[in-house]
Amino acid sequence: MQFTYESYVAMLKELHIKGYHFKNYNNWHETDCSVILRHDVDYSLEKAVLLSEIEKSVFPESVQATYFILVSTDFYNIHSRTSRNQMRQIIDNGGIIGLHFDETQYDIADEREMQKYVREEADILSAVVGTKTDVVSTHRSSQKFLSAEMEFPDMINSYSSTYFKNMKYLSDSRRHWRENVDEIIGNCLFRRLHILTHPFWYMQGREVSLKETLQNAILQASLNRYDNLNDNFKELERELKRTEIERIVYKTSDEENA
Ligand SMILES: [Zn+2]
C-alpha cells in the first residue's frame, strides 16, 4: 500500500469487494463484517478535506469515516472561518467529527482531570461544528492514560478495548504500516477492522518519501503564512512580493528533489 490517493481508493474498493460494511464507532456492530475508518488530523485540515472529497467521490453513500480534530494545536485554529468551512466540508462529504485530544497541552494529574479537559474540548468542538462530538482519540498519548481503560462520560473512547481487542487495528502512524494491510484485507483475515490513517501522508500521483513529504509541507506552510499576512497586513505586496517567497520555496524543493 502506497501513500497516494490512488492506493487509498484501491483499499476502499477492496474493502467493499470483500464484503466489509463501512461503519462508525456507534453502529459497527449492526453487521457482522464491518470496518471503521479513523483519520487523525494532526497537522492539516486542508488535507483532511481532500481525503473526504475522495471518499465521497468513490462512495457517495458515505464511508462514515471519523475525522479526529485537535482543539488545542499550533497547526490550525478551529475557530477561524477557514477551518469552520473545512470542517463543514468534511461533514458534507459524509465525514463525522471526533475530538483528537492532546494531553501534553495540559498538566494532567489524574483521570478526573483528563476527563474534565476532554469534556471541555469536546464541548468547544461541538459548539464550533454544530453537531455533538461523542468520540475521542488521543494524540501523543502517554502510557499512563493509554494503558488505563479510560472512560469518558457520554463519549466513546476509540482506544478502549472494544476497538482493539474485538477488532483488528491497523495504523499508518509515522507513515508506516506495521503489517501487510493489502494481505489482511485481501484474504479477509478478520471480520472487523479498525483502520487509522493520517490524511497528511497521502497525495495525488506518485508516492514521495517521508522526508520529502515533511519538507514540502513545511515549505508550503511558508506560502500559507504569506497569504495569512496578506489578509491582515495592508499592501504587503509593496513591501514583499509573494513571488519572492515562491522563488525561495520552489528553488529549495527543486534542489532537494533534483
Ligand atoms: Zn494524532
- CA 249 / ligand 1 centre spacing (Å): 27
- Dist. CA 70 → ligand 1 center (Å): 8
Q: How far is the CA of 255 from the centre of ligand 1 (A)?
A: 31
Tell which of 156, 183, 201 closes a domain: 201
Return mean pLDDT, the chain. Answer: 94
Residues 193 and 214 in one domain: no
Residue type, 163: Y
Structural domain count, the chain: 2
Judge if 123 and 239 occupy the same domain.
no
Domain that residue 111 falls in? 5-201
109 and 66 in a common domain: yes
- How far is the C-alpha of 124 from the C-alpha of 225, rounded, in Å? 26
Looking at the structure, do residues 137 and 249 belong to the same domain, yes or no?
no
Q: Convert the pLDDT of each residue in 7-20 to its tens digit.
A: 999 999 999 999 99
Same domain as 82, residue 9: yes
Position 255 pLDDT exceeds 80: no
Looking at 154, 171, 201, the residue that finishes a domain is 201
CA of 40 to the centre of ligand 1 (A): 5
pLDDT at 83: 98
The CATH number given to whatever domain includes residue 101 is 3.20.20.370
Tell me: do 30 and 118 sit in the same domain: yes
Q: How far is the CA of 102 from the centre of ligand 1 (A)?
A: 8
- Model pLDDT, residue 165: 86
Q: Do 101 and 228 fall within a single domain?
A: no
Ligand 1 center–CA 180 separation, angstroms: 22
Which residue type sits at 28?
Answer: W
Percent of the chain with pLDDT over 90: 86
Residue 215 to residues 8, 85, 248, 256, Cα–Cα distance (Å): 22, 26, 13, 9
Q: What is the total residue count of the chain? A: 258
- The CA 21 to ligand 1 mean position distance, Å, reads 25
Same structural domain for residues 133 and 216? no
- Provide mean pLDDT across the span 35-64: 97
Residue type, 120: E
The DSSP annotation for 113-158 comes to: HHHHHHHHHHHHHHHHHTS---EEEEES--HHHHHS---BTTBEET
Helices (H), the chain: 5-17, 45-58, 81-92, 111-129, 143-147, 162-165, 181-186, 210-232, 236-239, 242-257
- 85 CA distance to ligand 1 middle (Å): 21
pLDDT at position 146 is: 72
| pLDDT tens figures, 127-185 | 999 999 999 999 988 777 776 678 899 999 998 989 988 899 999 999 999 999 999 99
Mean pLDDT over residues 32-40, rounded?
97
**CA–centroid distance, residue 100 to ligand 1 (Å):** 7
Shared domain check, 225 and 152: no
Residues 62 and 101 in one domain: yes
Per residue in 94-130, pLDDT (tens digit) is 999 999 999 999 999 999 999 999 999 999 999 999 9
pLDDT given at position 149: 79
258 pLDDT higher than 90: no
- Mean pLDDT to the nearest integer, 62-73: 97
Looking at residue 118, what is its pLDDT?
Answer: 96
pLDDT at residue 36, rounded to an integer: 98
Q: From 168, 183, 201, give the residue that closes a domain.
A: 201
Same domain flag for 197 and 216: no
Quote the pLDDT of residue 148: 66
Q: What is the mean pLDDT of residues 215-222?
A: 93
**Same domain flag for 105 and 225:** no
Determine the pLDDT at residue 147: 65
Res. 43: pLDDT tops 80: yes
**pLDDT band at residue 257 using 50, 70 and 90 as cut-offs:** low
pLDDT digits (tens, 9 = 90+) for 80-100: 999 999 999 999 999 999 999
Query: Residue 205 C-alpha to ligand 1 middle, in angstroms?
Result: 25
